[in-house]
Amino acid sequence: MRRRNAELAMMILAGIIAVGANLLVDFAHSSAIPKWLPAYAGLVAGAIAITTLVTRRFAPNADPLLLPIAVALSGVGFAMIRRLDPRLAGPQLAWITLGVTVFCLTLIVIRDHRRLESFRYSLMVLGLGLLLLPLAPGVGLTINQARLWIHVGALNFQPAELAKVVLPLFLAGYLAQKKELLTIGTARVGPWVIPAPRHFGPLVLAWGLSLAVMVFERDLGSSVLFFGLFLAMLYIATARASYGVAGLALFSGGTLFAYHSFAHVRTRVDIWLHVWSRINDRGYQLAQSLFALGTGGLTGAGVGQGQPKLIPFASTDFIFSAIGEELGLFGAIAVLTAFGILVARGLHIALRARDTFSTLLAAGLTTVIGLQTFLIVGGVTRLIPLTGITLPFVSYGGSSIVANFILLALLLRISDGEGRAA
């Protein structure tokens, strides 16, 4: 009960942050209390009440930090989206509401996450199907030269976002079953003794098809994300450094091949290396991102006082730059700290887990959050080439919001099981 009381206190604080951030957006242009305030505050309060009650009833021993952080990040992200493009506010609020609903349903329906282990091969097929679905004729949709979306009626979404949840489930189930066989060498290749190659079949299939996403869908972000996920979970399961070295060698070779074979990869690298000489064409977006971050300084220009709209697609790929401009270095560090706590708590859940499947699943889900955050923040700050991926819970995007709330519910379910065991 102490955990749930602590969670409730932090949820109230997260709600205050969410409402306050949206108030600041309006106060930048008017001192009048906005008419939407009672409705929005009521919606936030309702979401807090419902999620808190569901967590108390169905996951009473779950980690108390994860949900409040997600609510706070979603509230700040929604405020920035309203500030950047008010037309997107309604759809984003609807997606957040759906995400909270799916979060509750996941906790209610999945009472024991370990039962999912027996569906590992079905989950592999489902995950790879989600990755390749945008290539299906008549369903796939190409936007900004990337074929990442599918459309069903008036609804467009990215199935790769749901694959972020499904593939860690498959990998956790497969590696939990095969980790000993993947650790003990039984076959010889030259001077090296390696595990039997047949045990790598499903992993190689999943890895190869995920890289095909980069080639045919031009989705660098998802390709790097899933490759990193496979490599991290394989290393965690086996504790063999040789897999890490081999994975990095494969990544380096694949990157070099992709650079010389595909124009869109060369373009991303060229923008990264020569942004200032490309500032009037291909490098304009990244250059504006760097200008925004530099303009923000320590304390920021103030919500509604900056010029983040100069950055194309600021509400999706570059929302962190908008936060950096208007909330400054302190605000950007606060957001990164929130993600750091999410990752730290996720790894803590993995370390406390008492069965291999739970450990691997918690570690895999946490890797998705951490790596995705690194890819987007690294891209907009020019640490790495741009990958075109969203910032979890913050960026505009319905499929991303829903997938992240499912991921969050699974982490809470794992932590609840370990809390009961303790």
Query: How do residues 343-356 score in pLDDT, each as one tens digit?
Result: 999 999 999 998 99
Burial-class residue 356 by CB neighbours within 10 Å (0-12, 13-18, 19+).
middle
Max Cα-Cα span within the chain: 76
Residue 50 CA to residue 305 CA, distance in Å, equals 35
116-147 as b/e, with b when 16 or more CB fall inside 10 Å?
bbeebeebbebbbebbbbbeeeeebeeeeebb
Cα separation of 212 and 251, whole Å?
13
The Cα 325–Cα 86 span in angstroms is 19
- State yes or no: pLDDT of 268 exceeds 80: yes
Q: DSSP H helical segments within 28-115, as ranges?
A: 37-58, 66-84, 89-109
Task: Confirm if 346 and 411 have CB atoms less than 8 A apart.
Answer: yes
Distance CA 357, CA 336 (A): 29
User: CB–CB of 380/286 below 8 Å?
Assistant: yes
Lowest mean pLDDT of 84-98, 102-116, 117-131, 185-199, name the range. Answer: 185-199
Other C-beta atoms closer than 10 Å to the C-beta of 102 total 16
Q: Burial, 254: exposed, middle or buried (Cβ in 10 Å; 0-12, 13-18, 19+)?
A: middle
Residue 305 has which token pair?
Answer: 């006082």
**pLDDT tens column, 204-230:** 666 676 666 666 666 777 788 888 898
All residues at 6 or more sequence positions from 62 whose CB lies less than 8 Å from its CB, including other chains: 3, 55, 412, 413, 415, 416, 419
Domain ranges for the chain? 2-421
| Gap between the Cα atoms of 244 and 300, Å rounded | 40
Cβ–Cβ < 8 Å for 418, 352:
yes
pLDDT of 303-338, one tens digit each? 888 899 899 889 988 999 999 999 999 999 999 999
Q: What is the pLDDT of residue 412?
A: 96
Rounded to 10 degrees, the C-alpha dihedral 122/125/126/128 comes to: 150
Query: What pLDDT band is residue 133 in, cutting at 50, 70 and 90?
Result: confident
pLDDT band at 71 (very low <50, low <70, confident <90, very high): very high
Nearest to 365 by CA among 167, 80, 148, 141: 167
